[in-house]
Structure 1
Amino acid sequence: MTAETAQRWGSALDEVVVYAQGALCRRLARGSVPPDGRVRVTGLPRTMDPGSLRARVTGARAARVVEARVEVEAEPLDEAASDALRREVERRRDEWAAAQGRRDRQLGLIKEIGAVRPVPPARRREDPHRRTPVDAWLGLADFVDERLTALHTRLVELERDLEVAEHAFMVASDRLDRASTDAPSSPVLTTVSAVLTFDVLAGPATAETAEPSAAREGGEVEVEIEYAVPGAVWAPAYRLTHRHGEDGGRLVLRASVAQRTGEDWTGVRIALATADLRRRTDLPRLRSMRIGRRQPSPAPSGWREPPTGLADLFAGYDATGPRPYGAGAPRAVGGMAKGRPLAVGAGPAEDSGGYGETTGHGETGGYGVAGGHGQAAAHGAPPPPPFPGGVQPQAYGSAPPAPAASGPAGGARQRSAGMMPPPTVAMAPMASARPMTPRSPAAAAPGSTPPPTAPSPAVGPPRPSGAELDYPALVLSGPDEQGGRRGRLFPDVPYDPVAAEYRRRAEAVAALPLPGHAVPPRVSAGSFDHRFDAVARADIPSDGAWHTVTVGEIPVGLRTEYVCVPSVEQTVYGTLVLSHATGQALLAGPVEVVVGDDFALTAALPTLAPGGVCRVGLGPAEGIRVTRRTTMHESTSGLRNSTTVLDHRVHVELANRLAGPVTVEVRERVPVTSDADVRVEEHADWSAPRDDAGTEQHAPGTRVWRVELPAGGTTVLDGGYEIRIPTAKALAGGNRRS
């Protein structure tokens, strides 16, 4: 049974993990495994990354997935299934063009009628002077005026119709741009499927499988499909609810999510992560440094160097001359030609341009070159000389090639070992294949001097890249390839313009402007990654617009404090001191503050680590009044008046007009000096601010009063400081301080 006739399973999107950019989707499919084990799971989006596909059986381990690959299908859409919004845009565009054409024709008529002028006949020299018929001139003017009046009246109607048609077209275009990308955007429907191959675990039941398996009884098997898609971003947001007189509050974590992945997320579990989906997942290796001649042998792998004499393999093909235009040899993918398997043996190949065979391990990508002599027999040319001993040279001696893990699925698992495939390591240059040219009789005569040979390049252990070890993706290059690609296996990376256009449109979501006070997750998370799981399922269409998702409630501690800096502004500001005691960090983002039942404001919440404390401003508190007055007295002291004393007095009055008691923090400042001869002596009961949590940065010299005011109460705060400056260092007229 081929992949085209494989049993089809429908799938449903169950969970989505949105990263800083991109998302990881998980689909669930259920069905009975056919006898051949080949199943096609449909419903995957066009923007998915083929290298990120994973599949595993959930629940009972009666079967396992041994191969998973991506296939794309295309089929024409029925007219009834085409996009209604796109047809609406095309209809509105036609109406707009028709209205514009009518308006332009009307302008042409107005221009023609406006150009009508009386033209007198040509007068010959012998003709007498004739009088102009005034009635004819006036009649023509009346006709032009009447006609222009009618045409301009019609022009006003056409201009109005044109504006209406243009507005309708713009509205339809905007609706199409904002519409979900889940619907097909062209008359051809392109679907992506995951072709899975199952291995049903047969045999008697053991201690591990004491119960009869579902697969052995013909029951259903549930499989989970995981893949990565671009075009999804998110930013955190909060809603803080607080009531007067309470020490706690409710902080609801919400997220603004935008996605254009090509599929609507309907009723899915949402998780939000600050990690980078495209980060590297391979661990660095620290190799030992050894001194001496002997070095440890590298680990054997399935990759082999191309044999020498590879260029002579194409001598007969090149001797036949240029091929007809458009003729090309089929390529072999993972040892299989597209359309038919490659012949294994010494016989010629009919459809492969003279390269119908591979070496003993060529069908699994083990040697990476074409071998044998089928090409010479196909074109009637003498075969090239065989390799010495009839054995292909190997880079690692007789070490057998390492088989791919579980066949083609092994390459898929290699590519999807992390979230995304690791960056390809540049391959070291291999030793160039030296042509095996037949020696002439003179060269073979005894005593003759062999022809000089080019110095062989430095040899060393080959270093194939990860792509060259991905055997299912290797393609055998035909004889028409240029350079050193002929007869060798290379990774096939076809360019799909349709998929590239889908991904380009999806990645445009990253350029969306963020909501107010929003911060990208990677910026606010810093060096750590966090994940937040939503408590309920959500619906997010693929329209590229921001949608709000409620993640969950976070318990926080809250207390209300009032702060004033009367030396800068005689206004008291209300603040909420938020303490975070959970084990998960809070990312920076906008927070909507609701006090009681009234919305207060939207503020910016900074990033809070577990145990952090921050202040959220609520704005001026009109119920608390503050007044500040200062005085300064200058005098001298010391022997022979050698010290100038500047005595500053600060008087602050506070009045509470609120219905309950409040705590007010009054901030003042004293001068700071770096000169040992200048002294500052304080005369007040204020204290330096203590910020054990590190939530605020105070300027040097800041002093704080903390006052408890009952409802309707008042208080007076007096403080001051003296500045003692040596007279020799005092400035004339510059000693006064306000």
Structure 2
Amino acid sequence: MKSEETPRWASALDAVVVYAQGALCSRRARGSVPPQGRLRVTGLPRSMDPGSLRARVVGDSGARVTEVRVEVDAEPSGTDSSDRLRQEVERLRDAYDAVQERRDRLLARITEITELRPVPPPRKREDPHRRTPAEAWLTLADFVEERLTTLHGRLAGLEEELRHVEHELAVAADRLARGSTDAPSAHVETTVCAVLTLDGAGEVELELEYGVPGALWVPAYRLAYRQSADSGSLVLRASIAQRTGEDWTGVRIALATADLRRRTDLPKLRSLRIGRRQPVPAPSGWREPPTGLADLFTGYDAAGPRPQPRSHAAPAAVGAAPAPPVVGGPVPPPLPVPPPLPVPPTAPPYSGAPARPADPGSTRMPPTPAFAQAPPQQLGRPRTGGAPVPAPASMPPAPANPTAPPPPAPPTPVTGPPRPTNDELDYAALHLSGPDEPAGRRGRLFPDAPFHPVMVEHRRRAEAVASLPLPGHAVRPRESAGSFDHRYDAVARADIPSDGTWHTVTIGEIPVGLRTEYLCVPSVEQRVYGTLVLSNATDQALLAGPVEVTVDDDFLLTAALPTLAPGGVRRMGLGPAEGVQVTRRAHLNESTAGLRNNITVLDHRVQVDLANRLARTVCVEVREQVPVTSDPDVRIDERADWTVPDDAVGPDHHTPGTRVWRVNLSPGGTAVLHGGYEIRIPAAKALVGGNRRS
């Protein structure tokens, strides 16, 4: 059936699920089932993965989809669909070329005027000397100076005009590069349609689902809280960039951390048996080629080669005169073209897709290598990669080289059942070769089905968005999600153009528990830092990303939020707190003990002074370090009220010997902390000449 006789249904993009790389789009189309049950749904992007297309009937109308496939059409774009920005770039490029050509002509004219020199007439040997006409020389110099002044003035104007047009061209080209890729990129508009066959009648609503490359996202947050409260509002946002070739206008956005191209087929676990050797079973999906496969194309070959177009006719032999045309006579048949030699195919790179259970009433077209899945059955014998091609019998043997090493021994022929490779057992990526293929490929299955040429170019442009630089403090979802996958659904519809730049979308609000604590390590730096302890009581993980912190309706800073698992607690730094001051003093007293004074005693005393200059009560955590030893003869005695820290607040892995004070300071209050430890070292363990005080 002709394409123009098939009814066309317009579709609208309804929902998009953005994965770590790539997206899964869902379109809706509504109409009445035609009598023949065949229709075309338009509006699909040119960068889609044909193998990911799925179609189903929404609702309980009784109709179902029995077939779906992808077709690419090309037609001249009308005047209404012309891109004004592209036309503006072409106009400015023509204007730039015209001004540049005028400038080049003027430069050539200036060069000609500059090269003007007075040339005296030739003088014979017997002629007397003539006087130089100074007036003529001066007149010529005045003429050259006047002309150069005029031409340089015009050149300055052309240079200024050229810089102006060049600037406008650069601006227009940048706008075109940053513009949406939804519009056609040439005068010939290519459209991708889905051809469906329905079984049923009446009004139906169709849902088409397909995957596209060229989309990615990173999480971002905005945290607002009150200093007197123990909870806050964390708004989850997402920076989304897409260059899929279609604008997402008014769509439901969902974000997922999964990898859309990850293989989901089940691994094969082979058993290991101990005992008598058994023959290796043949692969479960292997079948011998059908009998008479070579005779299947006998009639096709008997019809002779196809007539070649005149533009592709073979050139005549060297020195042969062209034959004169015969008026009114029969046209001679074209020369037979020898069939091409069979070339072993190369398998394209594999990229998998998530396997989804088939819905009742849904149909999935045969996928391409971009979305290959688990295999059903295989027909035909797979190719044997790496097999040597035998030389023709008429080819003389190569001369022996006495200095060359002996040739390697021929490989031992493999007996038993064939062993197809993984690519040959990937049945979703196999395609049947037609009668125009070489003799060794016709009627057999091979994993070599590239995309349509139009789709290849648009997919290459779409995948360029993966090199987009990330915003500050941003982390890719696959790096922060770990071995788990999460999904986040937006509360409202959003608009994201296909321009390849970052767009911020609000996903939703997540309640979090928080408290403000202050941390200082005075032995390293006598400064107090503010920290925010976050606790996630929801069932969704908070991925790492930038967070804008607002305290009491005042913007504080942009920090890096660590990954917060469901039910987890993490600490986030807020920077130095100038309102809380700390001072540390240390004193060391060295003495000896024992009956013979053979034990060195190092008495360390530490004093930490804290002062709160804020208008609220603060909790300060002071950390100190106590030396540790693995020698049982060296003893360390602590004399302080500090405690050993625990790792309850996130994965803060404290080093051995860390001690913690926790002090609550009222507004304007101070505190003095005393601590110390005593090290007893036997004389036999002492380091002579060492610095024991550091």
Any conservation in 1 of the 2:519–2:622 contact (CA below 8 Å)? Answer: yes
2:656 to 680, 692, 700: 700
SS state at 1:505 partner: helix
Per the alignment, residue 337 of structure 1 pairs with: none
One-letter amino acid of the structure 2 residue matched with residue 178 of structure 1? R
1:307 to 273, 287, 291: 291
Any conservation in 1 of the 2:382–2:446 contact (CA below 8 Å)? Answer: no
2:487 to 531, 554, 557: 531
1:560 Cα deviation from its structure 2 partner: 0.6
One-letter amino acid of the structure 1 residue matched with residue 226 of structure 2? R
Any conservation in 1 of the 2:585–2:606 contact (CA below 8 Å)? Answer: yes
Per the alignment, residue 420 of structure 1 pairs with: 371
Q: Give, in whole Å, the separation in 2 of the partners of 1:566 and 1:461.
A: 68
2:214 to 209, 231, 245: 231
1:457 Cα deviation from its structure 2 partner: 7.0
Q: Give, in whole Å, the separation in 1 of the partners of 2:599 and 2:613.
A: 45
1:351-370 alignment, distance < 5 Å: none
Any conservation in 1 of the 2:288–2:380 contact (CA below 8 Å)? Answer: no
SS state at 1:151 partner: helix
Are the structure 2 counterparts of residues 120 and 5 from structure 1 closer, same or farther at C-alpha, using a change threshold of 3 Å? Answer: same
1:644 Cα deviation from its structure 2 partner: 1.5
Any conservation in 2 of the 1:564–1:667 contact (CA below 8 Å)? Answer: yes
Is 1:477 matched with 2:435? yes
Deviations 1:140-182 (A, max 9, x none): 3333333333333332222211111111111111001001011
1:105 Cα deviation from its structure 2 partner: 2.6
1:317-356 alignment, distance < 5 Å: 325=308
Q: Give, in whole Å, the separation in 2 of the partners of 1:25 and 1:316.
A: 45
SS state at 2:440 partner: helix
Per the alignment, residue 633 of structure 2 pairs with: 677
Paired residue total: 615
Any conservation in 2 of the 1:67–1:198 contact (CA below 8 Å)? Answer: yes
Q: Give, in whole Å, the separation in 2 of the partners of 1:612 and 1:468.
A: 44
Q: Give, in whole Å, the separation in 2 of the partners of 1:300 and 1:634.
A: 82
- Which ranges in structure 1 are unaligned for 5 or more consecutive residues? 201-214, 328-352, 354-404, 433-454
Q: Which moved more, 1:145-154 or 1:495-504?
A: 145-154
Per the alignment, residue 670 of structure 2 pairs with: 714
Is 1:244 matched with 2:227? yes
Per the alignment, residue 725 of structure 1 pairs with: 681
1:234 Cα deviation from its structure 2 partner: 0.8
One-letter amino acid of the structure 2 residue matched with residue 260 of structure 1? R
Is 1:655 matched with 2:611? yes
SS state at 2:145 partner: helix
Deviations 1:614-635 (A, max 9, x none): 1111111111111112222222
Is 1:88 matched with 2:59? no
Per the alignment, residue 565 of structure 1 pairs with: 521
1:189 Cα deviation from its structure 2 partner: 1.3
Per the alignment, residue 557 of structure 2 pairs with: 601
Per the alignment, residue 204 of structure 1 pairs with: none
Are the structure 2 counterparts of residues 519 and 469 from structure 1 closer, same or farther at C-alpha, using a change threshold of 3 Å? Answer: closer
Q: Give, in whole Å, the separation in 2 of the partners of 1:323 and 1:11.
A: 41
TM-score (norm 1): 0.76
One-letter amino acid of the structure 2 residue matched with residue 477 of structure 1? P
1:486 Cα deviation from its structure 2 partner: 4.2
Q: Give, in whole Å, the separation in 2 of the partners of 1:175 and 1:323.
A: 49
TM-score (norm 2): 0.81
SS state at 2:175 partner: helix
Per the alignment, residue 374 of structure 1 pairs with: none
Any conservation in 1 of the 2:256–2:486 contact (CA below 8 Å)? Answer: yes
Per the alignment, residue 189 of structure 1 pairs with: 189
Per the alignment, residue 598 of structure 2 pairs with: 642
SS state at 1:126 partner: coil
Are the structure 2 counterparts of residues 243 and 37 from structure 1 closer, same or farther at C-alpha, using a change threshold of 3 Å? Answer: same
Per the alignment, residue 521 of structure 1 pairs with: 477
Any conservation in 1 of the 2:53–2:208 contact (CA below 8 Å)? Answer: yes
1:136 Cα deviation from its structure 2 partner: 3.8
Are the structure 2 counterparts of residues 650 and 489 from structure 1 closer, same or farther at C-alpha, using a change threshold of 3 Å? Answer: closer
Q: Which moved more, 1:113-122 or 1:613-622?
A: 113-122
Deviations 1:236-267 (A, max 9, x none): 11111122111111111111111111110000
Per the alignment, residue 97 of structure 1 pairs with: 97
1:295 Cα deviation from its structure 2 partner: 11
Q: Which moved more, 1:660-669 or 1:670-679?
A: 670-679
Q: Give, in whole Å, the separation in 2 of the partners of 1:734 and 1:38.
A: 92
Per the alignment, residue 401 of structure 2 pairs with: none
Any conservation in 1 of the 2:380–2:445 contact (CA below 8 Å)? Answer: no
Deviations 1:413-432 (A, max 9, x none): 5649x993227799798499
- RMSD of equivalent CA atoms: 3.6
SS state at 2:171 partner: helix
SS state at 2:20 partner: coil
Q: Percent identity?
A: 67
1:204-215 alignment, distance < 5 Å: 215=201
Q: Give, in whole Å, the separation in 1 of the partners of 2:571 and 2:492.
A: 30
Deviations 1:541-572 (A, max 9, x none): 01111111111111101111111111121111
1:169-184 alignment, distance < 5 Å: 169-184=169-184
Q: Which moved more, 1:152-161 or 1:239-248?
A: 152-161
Any conservation in 2 of the 1:306–1:488 contact (CA below 8 Å)? Answer: no
1:576 Cα deviation from its structure 2 partner: 0.8
Are the structure 2 counterparts of residues 556 and 622 from structure 1 closer, same or farther at C-alpha, using a change threshold of 3 Å? Answer: same
Q: Which moved more, 1:482-491 or 1:508-517?
A: 482-491
Q: Give, in whole Å, the separation in 2 of the partners of 1:169 and 1:93.
A: 7
